[in-house]
Structure formats: C-alpha cells, structure tokens
C-alpha cells in the first residue's frame, strides 16, 4: 500500500511535465438548441492549442463570447451563447487554421418536461459486468481482459445482456433500472465497477458503444422502464486521459503527500468542525487510483454540469444517481443540481449520502431549510438511515429502543425531511452485504423486509439477485456481493431468467417478489397516499397507507406464532365488517373483531374491496 501511495503521489506531482496526448478532443461532442441556459463552454484538447484565437463562422443565433486557456498549453476553453430560437445545424469554428465542425441538434419533443422517477416507481439495481453477457462488448485494446474466476475482475456482462433481459426486469414489476456506471474504466485491474472513469463521454467498449446504450434505453422505455444514469462527480480513475496532461495543476485536489479522505461527512454540518477536517473530507482521495476532482475550478465545474446534461439529453434518461454525493464541493453541488433541475424540472436526482443520521441526509434534499443557509436542489437522497433501521428491526430483540421500535422511530423522523416520500429506500446495494445473508439466510424475515420496502412511504430499490436469495459474506466483500446473475452466461447451470436449476426456495421467492411489485405498480395509494403507523406491540408492527377513498393495511409479524390483532385498536382507519383483500394471495375476507397475522410474515390488505 505504501508503494502505491508513493507512486500515486509521484504521478500527481509530475503531471505537468508529462507528454501530452496527441488525440484532438472536443467536449461535449455536440450540443442542442433550445436549452434553457443558453451558455455552452467547449473544451478543446490538442497539442499547443491554448494560444489559438478561435473565430466562429456566421451562424444565426450563435455568438462566440470568449476563449481562454488554463495552465496547460494543450487546452482551450471556448464560450458560446446559443440564443432562444436558434435552428439546429452545424457550427464552424476556425481554430489554429483548421475548421472545426460542431453539431447543434434539435431536442427530442418534450425533453425538457420529461417525467423523472418517483414514488410510483420501483428501481432495480444492476451491476452490468455481473448481470448478463449478450455479445455487445469488445475486449480489444483494453487494459484488463475478462476473467470470470476473479471476484475482483471483469466477468464480461454487457449492454446486450442487460437488454436481452429487460423483459425479466419488467416482469418482476420494476419500472426503473439503475445500472452502476457504464462509462469507460480503462485501468489495468479492478475496472469492472465503473466508478473510476477514464473517459466521461464514452461507454466502456467491454459493455458496448454509445449507440448500444441508446438502444438499451429505447428498448427499456418500450417496456415501461426508465433508465437512471449513475453519475460520478467527485473523482476519476488514475488512468483518465486528463491525468496525462491536466488542464491546470489544481484540476485535481493535490496534497504534499498522498492524503485519503477520513469519511467524516458530519464535518460539513458540524458547527464545531475544524477547517482542516472539512478539507480532508472533501479534498482527500478515496484510494490512490481515484484522483479527487476540484470542482472549485470553474472550467471543471462547467464541464461536470455539461457532461451530466449531455447524457440526460442524448439518451433520454429518467433520472440521475449521484455517487459519493457530499464528497464533492458543496457550493458546486448546489450549482450543479440547480442547473440540472433548470433544464429538466421534473427529472429526479438521488444522491448517495452514506450516513445513519436523518438530519445529515436531509441537509442535501431540495427544500430543506438548513441552519447554515445551504441550498440544495437535489429532489431525492438514498435513505441509509431507514435501511439501517430495517435491518436492526429484524435482527434485534424488541425493546423500547431496539428491534421494531427502530423502524417505528425511524419513520417518525420524517419531520426532518422536506419530502420523505421521494427518498429511495433499498434492501442493499453494490457496496453492502446481501440482505438475505445479513438476515442469517432467513426467507421469512427477507420477505418481511421487502414487504416493508414496497409499501412504506418511499421509492423502493431492489438489488439484482435479491429475488433469488443470493448470498454474500456479512462483512464487506465487493466481488462476492456483486456476484454473477445466474443464467447470465452461456453454460450456466442455474438460470434466473428461465428458472432452470433454481431451488424451491428461490422459485418461491422470485414469484413472491413478482407478485409484490406487480401489485405495487397499480396500488396508487402506495404511490401517493398518507401514512399512519401504530407503535409496535409484541413483535408486530402495523401501519396504513390511505387517502380519502383507499386504504391499505400492512402488518409485519416477526414472531414465531400467528398473532390476533384487535381491530378496535386501529379504529382510526378500519372497522369490523369492512371487506378486504389480501394483496398477494387475492383472497377476500371480512374484518371481524380481530385480525390474524401469520407467524413470521407480512400481511398486506386492501381495505374496502
């Protein structure tokens, strides 16, 4: 590790002296007319281009405002203004005696008003390299090849594989798919996860091409599934093409010696925090192979904003998931989220703030009145506090402050959030052990957890394979957590997509998840209804989703025996004599003086059927 740190530090300190990349680049590679913000900054990269004085051939509505260099002689930043009403076409910039033709495209109809994901949706999280191989990926000229036997290596899943199984995802009842990052990660090893970008505008060739991604998004849309792009703002990979020739020495956060973030995220809200601790949190690197970006650099901030908009507009995305949210400069995050929402007012952004404290997560959600005046424009956040409470509720004994009480009190903390229904609650993700393993391979408890996920006042997200009871070590082991989806590769003896080789437990769980989330798609009171909860008693927790005309009762019984609940206790919402239907079995019943909840089971009743 010490050798790696020394190498990383030496690489960073020597960057301005290294040879430049000979390839000419223009980023973003195209833009659109009709954007609400009329400004556009092009980053041009070519040997010696910094001193060029560009001119723009006359084009109605487009003005060349200025150009400037940074520190490197090989970058030029060109600022354009594209007035409202400008027609699509091709600009011609004359730079250093050469004509640069730049496409201005028409936006897709309704693009600005696209509807992002929300409480009506259920999200299916996929690690593309580990889901399915369909033949779109190309290994040639990439530093790391495929080795399915290596838990930390590339296994060969690709866009074609995901596309072939969109019907499976839709059939489970999911309406959104979130793939972990698909952009190029051309590093010598451990490149499969996607969080160490080497090119922000290019799909990794081992997944396919940009056109393959477009085809994937289009087919997903045809099946009623939106695509959420995983965007990384905080860091890049050490093999990113910038690292051969940084535009400026402060493009990444440099330290006299390699300095890693200490992950002390509360320093940003702590009124007593030292400036040094805050700096180390945001400017420290994750690992030696992930240089930390300095979003205080104006050109870099603009670059990151524009590349986000480019992916949304180019491919018709329904939302953005933002990795390591609070690690980026927070003034930049305010500007970034404002600009994205300016262009797409109904889009959704969900940020990752891995904190168990609701107040810390709430700080970053749009509409929060913060103690320090900070303003965020991100509509959603990942609900790590409630995910932690859910696991505790099902693994701890029940007491005044333990077990199911944590679930009850966790939801009671919704008063700190501007919009709790827009938080994303998850069973697990690519960074956490599998929920089935954390629940000690208990199928009944897993069903209770997923029933809560699907019915509480949140946007649910399921990690691929949870429907198959996939397992992992209970301590963090990324390669094993991100195991291959059974049946995703030719020759797999177990196949999730056809059912071949699945155990009886896996088949039952897969069918149960399908029924649960298929029901949720049309259970509109779960999407937008109010919530009333009752304090847990004797191992049973009950809450209601309701509005003026619809009511759903959810009872979670984690005890080893059936429990009779007195209906009179819930008189604010239901009464004896009302008709009800079990949402998962379809069985009709009439409420009596008591309601029976089976042992170690969730019960979901639609009242008034």
> How many angstroms from the chain centroid is the CA of residue 233?
12
Tell me how far apart the alpha carbons of residues 185 and 236 are, in angstroms, rounded to a whole number.
9
Same fold, 121-230+328-337+349-525 and 530-607: no
| Domain spans of the chain, in order of start | 121-230+328-337+349-525, 530-607
3-class secondary-structure state, position 580: strand
Instruction: Supply the pLDDT for residue 609.
Output: 61
> How many angstroms from the chain centroid is the CA of residue 508?
28
Which residues are CB-neighbours of 351 under 8 A, at least 6 positions away?
Answer: 321, 322, 325, 326, 364, 378, 380, 381, 382
- Location of structure tokens 């400008």: 86
Instruction: Supply the pLDDT for residue 16.
Output: 33
Query: Across the chain, which distance is largest between two alpha carbons, in Å?
Result: 87
3-class secondary-structure state, position 287: coil
Contact, 443 vs 469, CB < 8 A?
yes
* Other C-beta atoms lying within 10 Å of the C-beta of residue 176: 26
Contact, 411 vs 386, CB < 8 A?
yes
Contact, 423 vs 459, CB < 8 A?
yes
Backbone angles phi, psi at 525, to 5 degrees: -65, -25
- Location of structure tokens 């004509």: 99
CATH of 530-607, one of 3.30.200.20, 2.60.40.1180, 1.10.3720.10, 3.10.20.30: 2.60.40.1180
Residue 352 is a catalytic residue: yes
Which residues are CB-neighbours of 490 under 8 A, at least 6 positions away?
Answer: 133
Instruction: Supply the pLDDT for residue 140.
Output: 87
- The token pair at 341 is 């929402």
Residue 231: strand pairing partners: 322
Bond prior to 31 in cis (omega within 30° of 0): no
Strand 551-557, strand 601-607: pairing = antiparallel
Contact, 426 vs 462, CB < 8 A?
yes
Tell me how far apart the alpha carbons of residues 325 and 424 are, in angstroms, rounded to a whole number.
14
11: enclosing H helix or E strand: helix 2-14
- Torsion angle defined by CA atoms of residues 404, 405, 410 and 412, in that order, rounded to the nearest 10 degrees: 130
Q: In what order do the strands lie in the sheet with 89-95?
A: 31-32, 98-105, 89-95, 55-56
- Location of structure tokens 């051309």: 186
Check 230, 323, 353, 383 and give the catalytic one. 323
Instruction: Supply the pLDDT for residue 6.
Output: 36
DSSP code of residue 99: E
* Other C-beta atoms lying within 10 Å of the C-beta of residue 62: 21
162: enclosing H helix or E strand: helix 159-164
Tell me how far apart the alpha carbons of residues 269 and 51 are, in angstroms, rounded to a whole number.
43
Per-residue DSSP letters for 463-515?
ETTGGGT----SS--HHHHTPPPTTSSTT-SS-TTT-TT--HHHHHHHHHHHH
- The token pair at 523 is 């259970």
Tell me how far apart the alpha carbons of residues 95 and 51 are, in angstroms, rounded to a whole number.
10
Residue 260 is a catalytic residue: no
Contact, 239 vs 294, CB < 8 A?
no
* Other C-beta atoms lying within 10 Å of the C-beta of residue 113: 10
Question: Which residue from 121, 11, 79, 80 is spatially nearest to 521, judged by alpha carbons?
Answer: 121
3-class secondary-structure state, position 588: strand
> How many angstroms from the chain centroid is the CA of residue 50?
37
Contact, 377 vs 365, CB < 8 A?
no
Question: Which residue from 348, 336, 310 is spatially nearest to 40, judged by alpha carbons?
Answer: 310
Averaged pLDDT in 10-residue chunks for the chain of 609 residues: 36 34 77 98 96 96 97 97 98 93 97 98 98 94 95 97 98 98 97 97 98 98 98 98 96 96 95 96 96 98 98 98 98 98 98 97 98 97 98 96 97 98 98 98 98 98 98 95 97 97 98 98 98 96 96 98 97 96 96 96 92
Contact, 171 vs 140, CB < 8 A?
no
Contact, 33 vs 88, CB < 8 A?
yes
Angle at 545 between CA 541 and CA 546, to 5 degrees: 140
* Integer angstrom CA distances of residue 187 from 154, 184, 195: 11, 9, 11
> Can you point out the beta strands (E) in 51-194?
55-56, 62-68, 75-82, 89-95, 98-105, 123-126, 176-179, 183-184
3-class secondary-structure state, position 557: strand
Which residues are CB-neighbours of 497 under 8 A, at least 6 positions away?
Answer: 165, 168, 487, 488
Contact, 150 vs 488, CB < 8 A?
no
Check 144, 313, 352, 398 and give the catalytic one. 352
* Other C-beta atoms lying within 10 Å of the C-beta of residue 264: 14
CATH topology of domain 121-230+328-337+349-525: TIM Barrel (3.20.20)
């Amino acid at each position: 590790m010490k050798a790696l740190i020394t190498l990383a530090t030496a690489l960073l300190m020597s960057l301005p002296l290294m040879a430049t990349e000979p390839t000419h680049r223009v980023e973003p590679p195209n833009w659109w007319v009709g954007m609400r913000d009329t400004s556009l900054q092009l980053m041009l990269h070519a040997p010696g281009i910094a001193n060029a004085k560009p001119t723009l051939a006359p084009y109605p509505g487009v003005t060349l405002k200025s150009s400037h260099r940074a520190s490197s002689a090989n970058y030029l930043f060109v600022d354009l203004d594209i007035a409202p009403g400008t027609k699509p076409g091709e600009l011609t910039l004359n730079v250093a005696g050469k004509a640069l033709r730049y496409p201005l495209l028409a936006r897709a109809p309704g693009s600005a008003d696209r509807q992002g994901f929300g409480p009506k949706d259920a999200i299916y999280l996929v690690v593309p390299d580990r889901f399915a191989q369909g033949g779109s990926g190309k290994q040639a000229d990439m530093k790391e090849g495929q080795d399915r036997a290596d838990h930390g290596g590339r296994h060969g899943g690709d866009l074609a594989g995901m596309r072939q199984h969109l019907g499976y995802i839709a059939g489970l009842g999911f309406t959104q798919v979130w793939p972990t990052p698909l952009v190029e990660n051309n590093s010598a090893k451990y490149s499969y996860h996607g969080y160490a970008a080497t090119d922000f505008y290019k799909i990794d060739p081992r997944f396919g091409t940009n056109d393959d991604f477009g085809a994937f998004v289009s087919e997903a849309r045809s099946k009623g599934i939106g695509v959420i792009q995983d965007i990384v703002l905080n860091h890049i990979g050490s093999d990113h093409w910038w690292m051969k020739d940084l535009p400026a020495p402060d493009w990444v956060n440099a330290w006299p010696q390699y300095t890693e973030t200490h992950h002390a995220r509360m320093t940003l809200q702590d009124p007593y925090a030292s400036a040094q601790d805050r700096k180390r949190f945001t400017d420290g690197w994750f690992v030696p192979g992930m240089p930390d970006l300095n979003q205080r650099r104006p050109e870099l901030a603009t670059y990151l904003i524009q590349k986000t908009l480019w992916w949304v507009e180019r491919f018709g995305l329904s939302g953005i998931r933002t990795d390591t949210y609070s690690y980026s400069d927070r003034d930049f995050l305010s500007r970034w989220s404002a600009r994205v929402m300016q262009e797409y007012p109904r889009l959704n952004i969900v940020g990752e703030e891995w904190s168990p404290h609701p107040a810390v997560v709430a700080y970053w959600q749009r509409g929060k009145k913060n103690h320090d005046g900070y303003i965020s424009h991100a509509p959603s956040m990942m609900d790590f506090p409630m995910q932690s409470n859910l696991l505790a509720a099902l693994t701890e004994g029940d007491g005044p402050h333990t077990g199911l009480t944590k679930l009850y009190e966790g939801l009671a903390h919704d008063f700190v959030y501007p919009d709790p229904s827009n938080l994303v609650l998850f069973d697990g993700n690519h960074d956490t052990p599998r929920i089935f393993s954390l629940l000690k391979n208990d199928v009944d408890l897993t069903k209770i957890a997923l029933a809560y996920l699907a019915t509480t006042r949140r946007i649910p997200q399921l990690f691929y394979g949870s429907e198959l009871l996939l397992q992992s070590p209970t301590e963090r082991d990324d390669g094993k957590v991100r195991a291959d989806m059974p049946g995703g590769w030719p020759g797999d003896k177990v196949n999730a997509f056809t059912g071949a080789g699945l155990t009886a437990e896996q088949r039952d769980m897969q069918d149960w998840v399908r029924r649960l989330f298929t029901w949720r798609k049309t259970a509109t009171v779960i999407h937008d209804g109010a919530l009333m909860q009752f304090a847990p008693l004797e191992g049973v927790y009950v809450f209601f989703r309701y509005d003026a005309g619809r009511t759903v009762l959810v009872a979670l019984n984690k005890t080893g025996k059936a429990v009779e609940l007195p209906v009179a206790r819930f008189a604010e919402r239901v009464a004896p004599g009302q008709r009800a239907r079990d949402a998962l079995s379809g069985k009709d019943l009439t409420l009596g003086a008591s309601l029976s909840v089976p042992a170690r089971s969730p019960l979901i009743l639609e009242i008034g059927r």
